[in-house]
Chain A
Amino acid sequence: MADARTSPGSRVVPRVSPDAQRALDVTLGLAGMTVGAAVVAVRTAHRVTAPVTRLLWRPPLLPRSLHPATILEEAARTGRAEQVALRRRFEVLLDAWAPVLVEAVVERIDLTRLVREHVDLDALVASVDLDAAVARVDLDAAVARVDLDAIAATLDVDAVVARADLDAAVARVDIEAILDRVDLDAIAATLDVDAVVARADLDRVIARIDIVRIVEEVLDAIDLPAIIRDSTGSMASETVRGVRMTGVSADDALSRVVDRALFRRRHPERPGGPA
């Protein structure tokens, strides 16, 4: 009535003949009709016997505790409680035995090969919301558990620096913004200038200074030739200076005498006068 052929994928595909298919349909049709007739019969019987059934379940002359319905309800309640207790005992047993059984099964199964052959890992990963997953990760705590010193100790910094394009990196740095954030005054206040100067090779620094040019600039600024002309032209020798100062002192002394004789106050524009 039916035969089977082997497909290229080594899967057995049953083939049913048309007669057998027809017989199967007839059988299923008769079965359906029978079930429908049975349902109708049961509904009718139930509808007819319902008053009798209610009298049997709840006899009017018997106390409620002796009603068959009450007894059955009590039995159902007891059974439900037993079911719950039994389920708990089963779960306890399952908890105890499941790891053992799973372990025993897993030991006998190559799970890696099984997953590789039967699980579409790409589709699985594609369905995962990695952003949400990463957002839930406490990266600070993860980094805190990492021994960065040990990792840094293993780094070949020279090789890293040799591969880095430092010029491009520095070109992207906003040095002015960095300097704006730096408190150079505070940094300078912490400097030990004496120690810095003590380490400096001042002789070399002085050797690099163009002292001649500086002197020329200073002389241009102060107009030294004019000062020399003033000094020589004003007869600034000690003798002349002494004579002049003596004259000034004599003028002042004589003015004091005259002022005192004339009962006159010192004039402010004279040397030694009140300010």
Chain B
Amino acid sequence: MTGEGAAPELSSIPREARRFQGTPAGIVTRFVANSIDALVVAVVLCTMYLGYSAIIFMLDPRTFEFPAVTFLASLTVALVVATLYLWLAWWLLGRSYGAHVMGIRVAGRRGRKLGPLRALARAWFCVFFPIGLFWCVVSPHRRSVQDVVLFTSVVYDWRPRTPAGPDPQPPAVGESPGMPGAAS
């Protein structure tokens, strides 16, 4: 984290975890984070369903029945919710809840947060092409298809705060986005 020769800084990150901060995250960590995000989306969908049912119940309690949900509608809503969730999370916070739990974040050029457009594009791409994540298994830079296309990266970052500011322009091809001072 700290460049050689710089003044030592106090950090809440454990000593054994400092050496890989800012380096690209691997498939296991990212998959676990995405699974947690899927659970979050599922919880949100359940909450929305229960809220929708509660509204129907309050409107006509005597004839109340749980609303029937078709697979297509459920899938559509789930995809939309997941897209919105990831978009807002990556744009505003730089990481989703699953990434927060696993200590990773999505980084643009020079480790900054994504801008709204690129965050939205990445969220849409990840939701509709989730298998692209597994390209990071064979990628030398641990980049998924979304990372390669949108010039992003997912790095280990156990710090809760994310460098502010959107990514002004996409990084050059082959350049490894990461945190300032990270090994690259």
In the assembled complex, which residues on chain B have CB atoms less than 8 Å from the CB atom of A235? 100-101
Residues in B125-184 with C-beta less than 8 Å from chain A: 137-138, 140-142, 156, 158-161, 176, 178, 182-184
- Determine whether the beta carbon of B158 is less than 8 Å from that of A264: no
- Determine whether the beta carbon of B14 is less than 8 Å from that of A270: no
Distance between B88 CB and nearest chain A CB, rounded to angstroms: 18
Q: Once the chains are docked, how many angstroms separate the CA of A227 from the CA of B137?
A: 34
Distance between A92 CB and nearest chain B CB, rounded to angstroms: 102
- Determine whether the beta carbon of B12 is less than 8 Å from that of A267: no
**With known contacts A230-B161, A244-B17, A254–B28 Cβ distance under 8 A:** yes
**Interface assignment of B120: CB less than 8 Å from any CB of chain A:** no
Distance between A247 CB and nearest chain B CB, rounded to angstroms: 4
- Determine whether the beta carbon of B101 is less than 8 Å from that of A243: yes
Q: Once the chains are docked, how many angstroms separate the CA of A236 from the CA of B36?
A: 18
Listed A/B pairs (25) with beta-carbon separation below 8 Å: A227-B11, A230-B160, A231-B12, A233-B160, A234-B12, A234-B103, A235-B101, A236-B14, A236-B158, A240-B103, A241-B17, A243-B32, A247-B29, A248-B20, A248-B26, A250-B26, A254-B26, A255-B142, A262-B138, A269-B182, A270-B23, A270-B26, A271-B20, A271-B23, A272-B20
Interface string of A256-267 (1 = CB under 8 A from B): 001000101001
- Determine whether the beta carbon of B12 is less than 8 Å from that of A269: no
- Determine whether the beta carbon of B29 is less than 8 Å from that of A250: yes
| Number of chain A interface residues as a range | 20 to 34
**Dominant secondary structure of chain A at its interface with chain B:** helix
Distance between A274 CB and nearest chain B CB, rounded to angstroms: 11
B-side residues, CB < 8 A to A, are: 10-14, 16-17, 19-20, 23-29, 32, 100-103, 137-138, 140-142, 156, 158-161, 176, 178, 182-184
Distance between A234 CB and nearest chain B CB, rounded to angstroms: 5
Q: Once the chains are docked, how many angstroms separate the CA of A234 from the CA of B17?
A: 13
- Determine whether the beta carbon of B26 is less than 8 Å from that of A268: no
A-side residues, CB < 8 A to B, are: 222-223, 227, 229-231, 233-236, 240-241, 243-245, 247-248, 250-252, 254-255, 258, 262, 264, 267-272
In the assembled complex, which residues on chain A have CB atoms less than 8 Å from the CB atom of B137? 254, 258
In the assembled complex, which residues on chain A have CB atoms less than 8 Å from the CB atom of B25? 251
In the assembled complex, which residues on chain A have CB atoms less than 8 Å from the CB atom of B141? 267, 269
- Determine whether the beta carbon of B158 is less than 8 Å from that of A234: yes
